[in-house]
Amino acid sequence: MTLHAEIGLARGGFELSVGFDVPAGSVLAILGPNGSGKSSLLGCLAGLLAARQAVITLDGRALHGLPAHARAVGLLSQDPLLFPHLSVLDNVAFAPRSKGEGRARSREIARHWLAEVDAAEFAERRPGALSGGQAQRVAVARALAAAPDLLLLDEPLAALDVDAAPAIRGLLRRVLSTHRIAATVLVTHDPLDALALADHVLVLAGGKAVERGPTREVLAAPRTAFTARIAGLNLIAGTAVEEGLRTEDGALVAGMLAPDAVAGEPAVAVFEPSAVSVYPAEDGHPGSPRNLIPAVVSVLEPHGPVIRLRTTSGLSAELTPAAVADLGLEPGLGVRLAVKATTITVHPAAAQ
The residue ranges that bind ligand ATP (CB under 6 A) are 11-12, 14, 32, 34-40
Q: Toward ligand ATP, which CB reaches closer, 48 or 147? A: 48
Q: How far is CA 146 from CA 75, 135, 198, in A?
A: 10, 17, 21
CB of 11 to ligand ATP, least distance (A): 4
Cβ proximity of 30 and 204 under 8 Å: yes
Beta strands, E only, 12-144: 14-22, 27-31, 53-58, 61-62, 73-77
Contact 231, 219 (CB under 8 A): yes
Nearer to ligand ATP, 194 or 337 (CB): 194
Q: Which CB sits closer to ligand ATP, 44 or 114?
A: 44
Q: Give yes or no for a contact between 306 and 319, defined as CB atoms under 8 angstroms apart.
A: yes
Measured from the CB atom, the residue of 197 and 346 that comes closer to ligand ATP is 197
Report the Cα 279 to chain-centroid distance in Å: 33
Smallest separation, CB 48 to ligand ATP (Å) = 11
> C-beta of 41: minimal distance to ligand ATP in Å?
7
Q: Which is nearer to ligand ATP, 11 or 52 (CB)?
A: 11
Q: DSSP for 302-315, please give it.
A: EETTEEEEEETTS-
What is the closest distance, in whole angstroms, from the C-beta atom of residue 30 to ligand ATP in the complex?
8
For the CB of residue 36, give the shortest distance to ligand ATP in the complex, in Å.
Answer: 4
Tell the burial category of 66 from Cβ atoms under 10 Å away from its Cβ (0-12, 13-18, 19+). middle
If the CB atoms of residues 159 and 181 are measured against ligand ATP, the closer one turns out to be 159
| Shortest separation between residue 52's beta carbon and ligand ATP, angstroms | 13
